[in-house]
Amino acid sequence: MFKRPGFYQKLKFSSNHVPGQYSEICDGHLYQDRKNSGILKKNVLSLQWYTDGASLFSSSNTEVWPVYLTINELPYSERYKKENLLVSVLWCGPVKPPGNILITVMYEDMALLRNAHEGEQEISGVLINGTADLPARAIMLNMVRFNGASSCQVCEQEGVPRPGIPGVRLFPFNEDTMAPRTLQKMLEYSESGTELKPTKGVKGPCGLASVMPNYVLGTGIDQMHQLFGGCTKKILSLWRSTKPYAKKWSISQQEGVVNQHILSIRPPLHVVNIQNGGAGETSASTSGGTNDEACGSEAINDNTLQGTQENSGSNYDFFTGEGNLAERTCHQDDFDLAAFST
C-alpha cells in the first residue's frame, strides 16, 4: 500500500475534532482519548476490524471467514476501497472459527505492520474499533449466540425465551435490567465464564482485550443491521403505521411535519444513493433476521420506507405511498430516504 504513489499523502493523522460534533470515527471518545494520551500521532494508524463468514460454494458447509482491517486515517471515500483493505486473516473450514484464534493471527500480523516503512518513516498501527453482525460479533467477543441468555453485547439484560417459538429470545424494554456493559465487568465475567457455564453471556477471556484499548466500547453495532434493517426499520414501520392498533404510538397524523424535517436534512457528500444495491446487500447476509429476533420484533413486513426527493421532480408521499418516485437522479447533497428501504 505504502509503495503506491500518493497513498501516504492521503492519510490524515490530525483530526480537527470540534467538541460535541460527531461525524467520523476520529471524533469519537476512544479515538480522541488515544490521541490526547499521545498514542495516536503522526505515522500511527488506527485500525478497524470487520469479519463475517460466507459459504465457499452454494450448499457447501465450508465457510470462509476473512478478517479485514480498514484504516481510519484514510478519507471515508477511500477507506473501503478494495485496494485499501488489509486482509489480516483468512479462515476456511467446515466449522466456524474460534474468535480468539482469529485474533491471535491478527495480533501477529499487526506486529509485522510495525515494521512497514514509508521512506525513512516508521509506520505503526493500533486496533481501536471494529464491528460485525450479531453471530460474528458473538464469536469475536467470545460470547453466547444471539438467542442465548444475556446475549446482548451492549447491555447486561438476560432476556426471556419467546413463548411458543423455540430459539427466539425477547429483550423487553426495562431500564432496570439494562445496565450497559463495561470493560471492567466484562473482564471479570471472562474470568469465571466457560463454554458450558457462561457468566452474563461471556464464555471466557476475549483476545480483543489484549489488542484493543477498550473492546467493549470499541465494538459497535454494524450499520446494516442497526439502520437499514433490524430494530430501526421495525420502529420506523410502527411509527408510520395507520392501523387502528398503532394509534397509541403512531405519528402518521404528523406526516407534514415529518416530511418537512426529512427534506431539510443535508447529509455529507459521501452519502450516496444506494437504492439499487441495498436489496442485494440484505439478501447476501447470512443473518438478516437476527437483530429482529434479538429485539423481540416479528419479521419485518413488506412496508418499505420511501422518501421524497426534493430536486428530482418527485412528489412521492412518505406516508401514503402515493405519488411519483420515477426519477432517480441523485444530486450529491440530496437526501434519498429510499436508501433505507432495503
Number of chain residues interacting with Zn ion (CB under 5 A)? 3
Nearer to Zn ion, 152 or 325 (CB): 152
Long-range contacts of 188-191 (CB under 8 A, 24+ apart): 190/142
- Residue ranges of E strands in the chain: 44-51, 54-55, 63-71, 86-93, 117-118, 121-122, 124-132, 160-161, 169-170, 219-221
Instruction: Tell me the three cell numbers of residue 52.
Output: 463475517
Looking at the Cβ atoms of 201 and 307, the one nearer to Zn ion is 201
Taking the least distance from each CB to Zn ion, the nearer of 155 and 265 is 155
| Under rule CB under 5 A, residue 216 binds Zn ion | no
Query: For residues 26 and 152, which CB has a smaller minimum distance to Zn ion in the complex?
Result: 152
**Segment near Zn ion (CB under 5 A); pick from 64-72, 73-81, 131-139, 147-155:** 147-155
Q: Judge whether 98 and 42 are in contact, CB under 8 Å.
A: no
Using CB atoms within 10 Å of the CB of residue 3, give its burial: 0 to 12 exposed, 13 to 18 middle, 19+ buried: exposed
Tell me how far the alpha carbon of residue 190 is from its chain's centroid: 24
Q: Judged by CB, which is closer to Zn ion: 26, or 143?
A: 143
Largest CA distance in the chain: 69
**Minimum distance between the CB of residue 179 and Zn ion, rounded to whole angstroms?**
9
154 binds Zn ion per the rule CB under 5 A: yes
Smallest distance, Zn ion to C-beta of residue 188, A: 18
> What whole-number distance in Å separates Cα of residue 47 and Cα of residue 130?
8
Nearer to Zn ion, 172 or 321 (CB): 172
Helix 134-141 / helix 99-113 crossing angle, nearest 10 deg = 80
Task: Compute the half-sphere exposure of residue 267: CA atoms within 13 Å on the CB side of its CA.
Answer: 14
Taking the complex as a whole, the smallest distance from the CB of residue 292 to Zn ion amounts, in Å, to 14
Asked if 152 touches Zn ion (CB under 5 A), the answer is: yes
Q: To the nearest whole angstrom, how small is the minimum distance from the Cβ of residue 295 to Zn ion? A: 9
Residue with cell string 392498533: 245
Site string for Zn ion, 228-247 (x = CB under 5 A): --------------------
DSSP letter string, 103-170: HHHHHHHHHHHTT-EETTEE-EEEEEEEEE-HHHHHHHHTB--TTSTT--SSB----EEPTT-TT-EE
What are the φ and ψ backbone dihedral angles of 234, each rounded to 5 degrees? -65, -45
Distances (CA, A) of 29 to 24, 25, 38: 11, 9, 14
CB of 49 to Zn ion, least distance (A): 22
From 120-128, 145-153, 203-211, 225-233, give the range in contact with Zn ion by CB under 5 A: 145-153
Tell me which stretch binds Zn ion (CB under 5 A): 64-72, 151-159, 190-198, 225-233.
151-159
Please tell me whether residue 155 binds Zn ion under the rule CB under 5 A.
yes
Nearest distance, CB of residue 166 and Zn ion, angstroms: 21
Task: Scan residues 269-288 and list those touching Zn ion (CB under 5 A).
Answer: none
Q: How far is the CB of 27 from Zn ion (least distance, A)?
A: 24
179 binds Zn ion (CB under 5 A): no
Using CB under 5 A as the binding rule, whether residue 160 contacts Zn ion is answered as: no
Handedness of CA 199, 49, 178, 157 (dihedral sign): negative
CB of 178 vs Zn ion, minimal distance in Å: 6
- Return the number of the residue (154 or 272) whose C-beta is nearest Zn ion: 154
Provide φ and ψ at 220, rounded to 5°.
-95, 170
Site stretch for Zn ion (CB under 5 A), options 153-161, 207-215, 279-287, 324-332 = 153-161
Query: Cβ 339 to Zn ion, closest distance in Å?
Result: 27
Question: Can you read off the three cell numbers belonging to residue 304?
Answer: 418499505
Which residues in this chain contact Zn ion in the complex, by CB under 5 A? 152, 154-155
